[in-house]
Structure 1
Amino acid sequence: MPEYWYNFLGDLPAHLPQVRDSGSPSAAEVSAKVRPRALAAQNNPSERWVAVPEQVGERLRQCGRPTPLHRAHQLEKHLGTAARIYLKREDVLPTGSFKLNTAIAQAFYAAQEGRTTLVTETGAGQWGMSVALAAQMFGLDAEIFMVRCSLEQKPYRRHYMELLGARVRPSPSPHTEIGRRILERSSDHPGSLGTAISDAIQHALDRPSAAYLSGSGMTHVYLHQTLLGLEVEAQLRENHGETLGVAGRGDHLIACSGGGSNLCGLMGPYLRARADGADLRLLAAESTAAPRLTAGTYTYGRADLGGFTPEVLGYSMGEDFVPPPVHVGGLRNHHSSAIVSLLRREGVLDAVAFEQRTALEAGRLLLRTEGLLLAPEASHAVAAALEVVAKADAQNLEPVIVVLASGSGHLDLQGYHEVLRDA
């Protein structure tokens, strides 16, 4: 496992646009109150390599890092392709997703600062599960606001969190002022990450000993997730004799795109090589339920509905956009992060969007060939890989394709059943 996180901010193709912060209190004041100071510092670290604290490294190794890089031989055989397809297996971690990589780090820094309670939001539940487990590791309480439609679709993720002692509430929540306002306007609101972020931040503001943690969208989260790309680079070289970016081969890194943390964690360590001339394509797979990168407008907007976060320049569906309650809770964002949007705007990152049925059909194919059941979000990345393979075969290319298997689908079986039962 890498002993350092990689700060890729200096490798971005352009400077990040300035944020707008006109709230009262300002988003900066809110953040200073609810976030651990070490995490705020890691939003713009001065060093290129940031040391992973020893206790964080120990816990990550205990949970199974480094995770395997799996060559999908049976999928390749089924497709009849000369492409070499690799899956970065984050689904093997105890909470079934890559989210544990930053949850452990953030919980550690919160405990170091003397915070007693972790407060956060969660979409499909993988992030909430990871925070609940990380809280137990460092002797902290956890309070989690889960998007209402996902809470109803995926009750077993709630059960997991509650087994760890976490308190789980639906969002929009009657326990917060912003939640009550949303419910007054729409009593059957399915919830979104925008509502859940608002609920969680307001709840944390009312509790001085609480720390609010973000599962995505923040630079410090992307920093912690660079373990993904760093491990892939070493595993390809040392275990498989591969190097990404060979000219004319059509190599790809592919990840689903919700808040951007799995995507930036995988691709961030490769931005320098790409800028130096490596022939490497970066591809984001999103949901047609919230197609920000493929159909959104490049504009200023907030991640939440309560005005607690700053306005950042990114691809957006608009703050009033309510994504339909599809079974891809981690991709139901209305606004993309500044970094992901900048990569898209500058032509570094390509993007495709899939209907959930197409994505889950790709997930089913992976199960039938490799025996791996991925979360609906990760299955979008598999669907993107299938398109890349088809185009490569048509052009007689033999690319190396790395797909981030960001989460397990074993607690998403109901969703798979409902979408694919007639197919």
Structure 2
Amino acid sequence: MDLARYRFDLSIEEVPTSWYNILPDLPEEVPPPLNPKTGEPVDPSALAKLFPKALIEQEVSRERYIEIPGEVREAYISFARRPTPLLRAVNLERALDTPAEIYYKYEGVTPTGSHKINTALAQAYYNKLEGVERLVTETGAGQWGSALSAAGAYFGMKVRVYMVRVSYLQKPYRRTLMELYGAEVYPSPSDKTEFGRKLLAENPNHPGSLGIAISEAIEDVINSGGNARYSLGSVLNHVLLHQTVIGLEAEKQFREAGVYPDIMIGAVGGGSNFAGFTYPFIRHRLKGSSSTRFIAVEPKASPSMTRGVYTYDYGDTAGLTPLLKMHTLGHTYQVPPIHAGGLRYHGVAPTLSVLLKHGIVEARAYHQREVFRAAHLFAKAEGIVPAPESAHAVKAAIDEAIKARDEGRRMVIAFNLSGHGLLDLQGYREYLDGTLEDYEPEEIPASRR
């Protein structure tokens, strides 16, 4: 095989100059956020206590392309090391004996090891412009917290992170990484907020959840006296928008490869890495110029897409956010302590929910052990240990490649390997020791099915 067909790189000059905004291309408008007290749409200005003006404008913008500020694009190149490679998994293809071609966009080459830096740098930049002193956020597995901590270091801003307690304990080196960048890191629920203290009083060993950590971060900002703003790692449109640098780069790389994906796959917690990789390609499907299938993969322990309902719900556990129309398990749903901490969320992005509703995106769920088995196979074949979140996409890609083999069909399968798992080895240790558990989801109320 021609070795030049293994890897497809772009020059620095080819890093995108604009982000792609899917809002004007969706098959229907995203229902507006609602004020939970009045049931009326929330005026964007009401979000000014949480987000800088530029991000609020991006959240509701109908512009198809939004220019990436020069300072952010420079940070993408000099600090985040974009562009990232598109790699062909030829060794995995051989291991599976499949006629399918398998490609993956590898975001694990960034300094913090995941795609999250793409929006962290943008959010830190816009907050810095408005004179914000401190950014406050939540993190599940620590990928987002690490990225925002690094972005804070780059732009000279303070960062405070509420890390889901079970991940705080499972992944101590993520905390170390965040603190190296200068961030404060607290296990959530924590004793730093009223909501956290309430939950700890009820259960001192509470494992936490992303919804709880979001509540704590928002409470922190509300009580900051105006010198702090909230940064979100997924779900909202401005976050997914910033991640489209991934798919826009991949478009150019697939042209260089001379192929176009038949299937595109991404893991989903809130939706940021899936959206960043697929939305530029979903644009073509929405315009009728592509028949690509899009598969969004989630844990069976947190099945918001496959077992949730499309309805209005809070984005956090305490009910501090506006109501968002999304696929949800309910904001009080207690997600089991799986190792894919970034996927332990009760809902998904409103834009992704619209695409699920219209059948543009297919949803799939897997148990933890089968995901780690797929990641193990991938690591032995390709040499890269995937993050447990990204391993969900690996599992789906392997399943589709085996199906192609069994049916004797040639096809192009692409997935986003959104982060490496070198700080997630505790989960792999449990997998190798045979102590890794599968978790059935909590009983989901009939109104949430």
TM over 0.5: yes
1:36 aligns with 2:52: yes
1:119 aligns with 2:130: no
Give the Cα separation in 2 of the matches to 1:399 and 1:200.
44
Give the Cα separation in 2 of the matches to 1:360 and 1:30.
43
Q: Percent identity?
A: 45
Secondary structure of residue in 2 paired with 1:293 = coil
Where do residues 152-231 of structure 1 align in structure 2 (5 Å cutoff)?
152-207=169-224, 208-231=226-249
Equivalent in the alignment of 2:279: 268
1:235 aligns with 2:249: no
Give the Cα separation in 2 of the matches to 1:408 and 1:394.
30
Q: Is the 8 A contact 1:30 1:308 kept in 2?
A: no
Amino acid at match of 2:161: I
Q: Is the 8 A contact 1:30 1:205 kept in 2?
A: no
The number of equivalent residue pairs is 416
Deviation track 1:41-94 (CA, whole Å, cap 9, x = no partner) reads 101224221111111111110121010001000000110111110110000100
Q: Is the 8 A contact 1:84 1:398 kept in 2?
A: yes
Question: How far off is 1:23 after superposition?
Answer: 4.3
Secondary structure of residue in 2 paired with 1:43 = helix
Secondary structure of residue in 2 paired with 1:294 = coil
Give the Cα separation in 1 of the matches to 2:67 and 2:295.
29
Q: Is the 8 A contact 1:171 1:179 kept in 2?
A: yes
Amino acid at match of 1:8: I
Q: Is the 8 A contact 1:360 1:420 kept in 2?
A: no
Task: Quickly say closer, same or farther: Cα 1:27–1:304, change in 2 above 3 A.
Answer: farther
Task: Quickly say closer, same or farther: Cα 1:330–1:266, change in 2 above 3 A.
Answer: same
Equivalent in the alignment of 1:397: 409
Q: Is the 8 A contact 2:44 2:56 kept in 1?
A: no
Equivalent in the alignment of 1:247: none
Q: Is the 8 A contact 1:136 1:164 kept in 2?
A: yes
Equivalent in the alignment of 2:24: 10
Deviation track 1:207-237 (CA, whole Å, cap 9, x = no partner) reads 2111210000111011101111101110010
Q: Is the 8 A contact 2:24 2:63 kept in 1?
A: no
Q: Is the 8 A contact 1:11 1:271 kept in 2?
A: no
RMSD: 1.6
Name structure 1 gaps, 5 residues minimum. 245-250
Secondary structure of residue in 2 paired with 1:85 = strand
Equivalent in the alignment of 1:21: 35
Give the Cα separation in 1 of the matches to 2:434 and 2:317.
37
Equivalent in the alignment of 2:66: 50
1:128 aligns with 2:145: yes
Give the Cα separation in 2 of the matches to 1:13 and 1:361.
37
1:257 aligns with 2:268: yes
Secondary structure of residue in 1 paired with 2:174 = helix
